[in-house]
Chains A and B, each alone.
Chain A
Amino acid sequence: MALDPAKQLERNARLMELLARTALADQKSFAELYRLTSAHLYAVALRIVRDAAAAEEILQESFVNVWHHAGSYVAAKSQPLTWLTSIVRNRCLDQLRRREIDTVTMNDEEEGVMVAAEDPSPLEMLLSGADARAVGACVETLEPGQKQAIALAFFQGLSHSELATHLREPLGTVKSWIRRGLERLRACLDDAGVAR
């Protein structure tokens, strides 16, 4: 689905319109939304859960969810396909958690204490929106280990410990690849004007 910017803008405008109509219970628009995005979202789910039946169920749940909550989509804050992708990915990752060991350390005592606000919330998300190719180009600038770890985590849904096993590297190394890789991605994308 990687498109040139003009096509991408056109597609996003169409998807936004369809989401808006879906929020008004327009089944025809919802059907078109499904037709335009389901193959993309199914591919996302298949990679992560690696089981066709589970991926089908996640896709079904996600679209039922979209039907009921299309009104909560805020066009100024997210691109439509990103919003839909996040719904599917979160369902996939929630399902995976059952077979996972928590590998990110958290400090329970200070739950609820938040960092001071850094940036105001993004307003022109649509206009400054992410271009798949900009993200891809930034990924290319990562070191091989960082790139591999991030790609496996993102596309296959591998956890830190699964990455360590898969890449035959110590857990600490993998965690640091991910952390540094993400920091570097952020810097690169901020330079490219993606998100903020």
Chain B
Amino acid sequence: MNLRTPGRADALAAEYVLGTLRGQARQRFARLALSDRTLADAVRNWEERLLPLAEALPPVAPPARVWNAVLARIRGAGAARSSIWSSLGLWRGLALASLAMVIALTSVLLRPVTERPEGALVVVLAGSDARPALVASADRLGRYLSVKPVARVDVAADRALQLWMLPEGGNPRSLGLISATGVIRVALSAPAEDALRTIPALAVSLEPAGGSPTGLPTGPVLYSGPIQRTY
């Protein structure tokens, strides 16, 4: 492969990235680029130049079987390292355990709502023993969630309770710190019906004072519950 001619390496890198370098020449070039930094850099530079063009393509959602196949193939490799947050069993367990209590409590909580046509969102946050510890509620169009303890919640002085949204298939997103003793209003970025539209459940974790340093839950999940909507 004659790469001594000035510009030849760069021209080949360009055609490699564009896709017009084919067949054995392509394989050979790729092999050389593995061990030659100048070539590798030339390829990377051309990738930075050309590949953003692909962003102009209208996205096409692949069928769900692709993700299922990927998951099936990576399971086992690294699955053991996944945290309690990715344990579906945990969420199922918590959700089922608190269901009865949710039904009982929401019927009480929602009584005044019938007089307000706009509706509300209610979340009963219960522990693994299914006993409700906190209740979060918001008017459908309200800009905050009221979070109120309904049982005694003991939190050490150097710890804090943090409230999280649990999007389906995504990382928990913090809603802020809450109090174990009094009612707290947690500000929402939009009216509750929009801010929580795609969120099936909330959870509370135990974090260092000041909240999780990483932006993701670091401590144990103390309470969780599905969002009940009355509209």
Contact = CB atoms under 8 A, between A and B. Distances in A.
Are chains A and B native binding partners rather than an unrelated pairing?
A: yes
Given A32-B169, A182-B18, A40 B44 contact: no
Interface of A: 1-2, 24-32, 34-35, 38-40, 42-44, 46-48, 55-56, 59-60, 63-64, 67-68, 77-79, 81-82, 85-86, 89-90, 93-94, 96-97, 100-104, 106-119, 121-122, 125, 129-132, 134-136, 139, 150, 153-155, 157-160, 163, 178-179, 182-183, 185-186, 189, 194-196
A79 B48 contact: yes
Contacts of A119: 41
Interface in B3-38: 3-6, 8-12, 14-15, 17-28, 30, 32, 36-38
Given A28-B85, A28-B86, A195-B49, A153 B170 contact: no
A59 B5 CA distance: 37
Contact of B48 (A47, A78, A90): A78
A117 B6 CA distance: 10
Contact of B57 (A40, A107, A122, A183): A40
Contact of A185 (B4, B9, B23, B49): B49
A8 B15 CA distance: 27
Nearest to B74: A67
B37 A121 contact: yes
Contacts of A27: 74, 78-79, 82, 86
Given A35-B169, A77-B44, A106-B1, A132 B60 contact: no
A43 B59 contact: yes
Given A64-B74, A101-B23, A102-B25, A43 B12 contact: no
Interface residues of B, number: 70
A113 B25 CA distance: 15
Given A38-B67, A113-B4, A182-B11, A106 B20 contact: no
B111 interface: no
5 contacts: A29-B171, A56-B62, A117-B38, A182-B18, A186-B10
Nearest to B61: A39
A154 B53 contact: yes
A114 B52 contact: no
B70 A67 contact: yes
Contacts of B69: 60
B66 A24 contact: no
A130 B19 CA distance: 19
Given A24-B81, A132-B55, 11 more contacts: A2-B55, A27-B78, A28-B85, A39-B62, A81-B55, A85-B47, A107-B2, A114-B36, A115-B6, A115-B9, A179-B15
B104 interface: no
A40 B60 CA distance: 6
A113 B3 contact: yes
B20 A135 contact: no
Given A89-B51, A132-B56, A182-B18, A195 B45 contact: yes
B22 A93 contact: yes
Contacts of A194: 48-49
B50 interface: yes
B54 interface: yes
B116 interface: no
Nearest to A131: B52
Nearest to A52: B63
B62 A154 contact: no
